[in-house]
């Protein structure tokens, strides 16, 4: 079932969903199930699975020589989605990127999903590879998520890259895209970012999932601004409980989001990461309850590969 159908069916109640990461190469599917199992009692209508593009690593060859190698450290997004749908009978949503994909790769990826009975995707640009400052699309790839949305929407209309294909079957993907309450790091202003978010919707996206935020006011203002700009699709809030002291610097650096003073002070006063985890869980519960009261369609949690914190939050909220 599609995300928008799940939201319609919920009839105004806030649902629970979460995002997982594929395990590092060499780990098993059981490590994924171990994280998902404790969260199934909260009836997620869908589970998102992130996509991780290739990275460049340097291997020592001896005598000071280095060999540049391309590796994917977290492969398996599509396989994990199929395994989730098979085991839990819930919708699994693969993230799909512009980065590292030609249009042909994208089309083939979408055909695989369609054949597997996966009818939801989250369409993203992806970040620059670690060795580069700016994002670079493939030679025949997409530069922005809005272009990727257009390609998916074309396939939904039966338009493949090869114009010679006649009477081709139509896919039926429900498309999610990313939104940034505190603006995307490269956007010159929030207005500019919302302008391009609107383009993703115009090109066919059905809903927005937000970047994590720790101050609900930022989400409420973002939704208000989007509505003023004529964006009417559901805007799903993305939440992450803080769990280590290191994240005080890592989260603003990596995701360009601010942490409220009150949260920072509480975390700084913690004597161990166990205490930080407790603070993070309590903060996220308070955020979740307020969002729930305001009638958000779904609360979407970033598990980052660990379900214990999310389980505690879900027990208190759902
Ligand atoms: P876009 O929508 O393409 O926007 C990128 C930037 O370009 C923005 O600043 C935007 O304002 C600007 N822009 C857009 N269109 C134009 C245009 N036509 N001209 C000029 N400027 C333009 N990353 C992963 O690698 N894997 C994942 O699984 C993943 N999942 C994510 C899930 C969510 C919910 C979120 C919020 C992010 C996720 N990311 C993931 C991170 C994401 O890939 C990065 O934030 C990336 O830098 C931007 O992706 P986007 O889809 O928002 O890009």
Using alpha carbons, list the distances in angstroms from residue 140 to 52, 104, 123: 19, 8, 17
User: How far is the centre of ligand 1, averaged over its atoms, from the C-alpha of 32 (Å)?
Assistant: 26
Sign of CA dihedral 216, 218, 219, 223: positive
pLDDT tens, 56-102?
Answer: 888 888 888 998 888 999 999 999 999 999 999 999 999 999 999 99
Q: For the residues 15-43, what does the mean pLDDT come to?
A: 96
Using alpha carbons, list the distances in angstroms from residue 230 to 40, 66, 198, 202, 318: 36, 53, 8, 10, 31
Q: 3-state SS of the chain? A: CCHHHHHHHHCCCCEEEEEECCCCCCCCHHHHHHHHHHHHHHCCCEEEECCCCCEEEEEEEECCEEEEEEECCCCCHHHHHHHHHHHHCCEEEEEEECCCCCHHHHHHHHHHHHHCCCCEEEEECCCCCCCCCCCCCCCCCCCCHHHHHHHHHHHHCCCCCCCCCCCCCCCCCEEEEEECCCCCCCCCCHHHHHHHHHHHHHCCCCEEEEEECCCHHHHHHHHHHHHHCCCCCCEEEEECCCCCCCHHHHHHHHHCCCCCHHHHHHHHCCCCHHHHHHHHHHHHHHHHHHHHHCCCCEEEEECCCCCHHHHHHHHHHC
Q: For the residues 216-231, what does the mean pLDDT come to?
A: 98
Structure tokens at 17: 């969903």
User: How far is the centre of ligand 1, averaged over its atoms, from the C-alpha of 50 (Å)?
Assistant: 13
CATH of the domain at 132: 3.20.20.220
> Measuring from atom 9 of ligand 1, which residue has the nearest CA?
187
The confidence score (pLDDT) of residue 102 equals 98
The confidence score (pLDDT) of residue 282 equals 98
State how beta strands 298-302 and 15-20 pair. Answer: parallel
> Measuring from atom 36 of ligand 1, which residue has the nearest CA?
211
Q: What's the CA gap between 279 and 246, in Å, rounded?
A: 14
The confidence score (pLDDT) of residue 281 equals 97
Decide whether any atom of ligand 1 lies within 6 Å of the 194 Cβ.
no
pLDDT tens, 262-298?
Answer: 999 999 999 999 999 999 999 999 999 999 999 999 9
Q: Is the pLDDT of residue 12 over 90?
A: no
For the CA of 145, the nearest atom of ligand 1: 3
pLDDT band with cut points at 50, 70 and 90 for residue 260: very high
The confidence score (pLDDT) of residue 306 equals 84
- Tally of domains in the chain: 1
Averaged pLDDT of the chain: 96
The confidence score (pLDDT) of residue 121 equals 98
**Of 96-110, 128-142, 279-293, which range is least confident?**
128-142
Q: What's the CA gap between 41 and 21, in Å, rounded?
A: 20
- The count of other CB atoms within 10 Å of the CB of residue 38 is 14
Using alpha carbons, list the distances in angstroms from residue 120 to 32, 59, 117, 127, 190: 20, 38, 9, 21, 27
Query: Which residue in 260, 252, 255, 305 sits closest to 284, CA to CA?
Result: 260
Decide whether any atom of ligand 1 lies within 6 Å of the 178 Cβ.
yes
> Measuring from atom 13 of ligand 1, which residue has the nearest CA?
196
Decide whether any atom of ligand 1 lies within 6 Å of the 203 Cβ.
no
Q: What's the CA gap between 166 and 159, in Å, rounded?
A: 9
141, 85 contact by CB (below 8 A):
no
The confidence score (pLDDT) of residue 70 equals 87
The confidence score (pLDDT) of residue 303 equals 92
Query: Which residue in 156, 150, 18 sits closest to 93, CA to CA?
Result: 18
pLDDT band with cut points at 50, 70 and 90 for residue 165: confident
pLDDT band with cut points at 50, 70 and 90 for residue 28: very high
pLDDT band with cut points at 50, 70 and 90 for residue 144: very high
Decide whether any atom of ligand 1 lies within 6 Å of the 207 Cβ.
no
User: How far is the centre of ligand 1, averaged over its atoms, from the C-alpha of 269 (Å)?
Assistant: 34
> Measuring from atom 42 of ligand 1, which residue has the nearest CA?
126
The confidence score (pLDDT) of residue 298 equals 96
267, 276 contact by CB (below 8 A):
yes
Q: Is the pLDDT of residue 55 over 90?
A: no
pLDDT band with cut points at 50, 70 and 90 for residue 167: confident
For the CA of 53, the nearest atom of ligand 1: 25
The confidence score (pLDDT) of residue 163 equals 87
Q: What's the CA gap between 285 and 27, in Å, rounded?
A: 31
The confidence score (pLDDT) of residue 61 equals 87
Q: Is the pLDDT of residue 232 over 90?
A: yes
Give residue 175's domain range. Answer: 3-317
Q: For the residues 144-148, what does the mean pLDDT come to?
A: 98
Q: How many CA atoms lie within 13 A of 93 on its CB side?
A: 25
Instruction: Look at the block and give the residue holding tokens 């294909």.
Output: 165
For the CA of 195, the nearest atom of ligand 1: 11
The confidence score (pLDDT) of residue 148 equals 98
């Amino acid at each position: 079932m599609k995300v928008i159908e799940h939201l319609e069916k919920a009839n105004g109640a806030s649902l629970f969903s979460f995002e997982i990461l594929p395990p590092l190469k060499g780990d098993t599917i059981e490590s994924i199930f171990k994280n998902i199992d404790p969260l199934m009692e909260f009836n997620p209508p869908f589970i998102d699975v992130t996509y991780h593009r290739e990275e460049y690593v340097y291997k020592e060859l001896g005598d000071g020589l280095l060999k540049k190698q391309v590796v994917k450290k977290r492969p398996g997004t599509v396989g994990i989605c199929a395994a989730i749908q098979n085991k839990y009978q819930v919708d699994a949503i693969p993230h799909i990127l512009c980065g590292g994909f030609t249009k042909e790769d994208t089309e083939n990826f979408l055909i695989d999903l369609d054949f597997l009975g996966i009818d939801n995707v989250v369409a993203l640009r992806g970040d620059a590879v670690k060795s580069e400052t700016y994002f670079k699309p493939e030679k025949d790839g997409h530069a922005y998520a809005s272009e990727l949305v257009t390609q998916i929407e074309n396939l939904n209309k039966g338009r493949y890259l090869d114009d010679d294909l006649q009477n081709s079957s139509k896919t039926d993907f429900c498309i999610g895209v990313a939104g940034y309450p505190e603006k995307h790091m490269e956007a010159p202003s929030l207005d500019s970012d919302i302008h391009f978010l609107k383009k993703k919707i115009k090109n066919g996206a059905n809903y927005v999932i937000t970047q994590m935020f720790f101050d609900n006011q930022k989400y409420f203002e973002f939704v208000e601004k989007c509505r003023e700009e004529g964006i009417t699709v559901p805007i799903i809030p993305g939440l992450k409980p803080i769990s280590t002291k290191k994240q005080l610097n890592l989260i603003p650096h990596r995701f360009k989001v601010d942490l409220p003073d009150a949260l920072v002070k509480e975390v700084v006063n913690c004597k161990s990461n166990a205490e930080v985890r407790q603070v993070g869980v309590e903060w996220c519960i308070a955020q979740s309850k307020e969002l729930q009261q305001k009638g958000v369609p779904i609360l979407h949690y970033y598990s980052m590969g660990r379900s214990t914190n999310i389980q505690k939050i879900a027990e208190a909220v759902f």
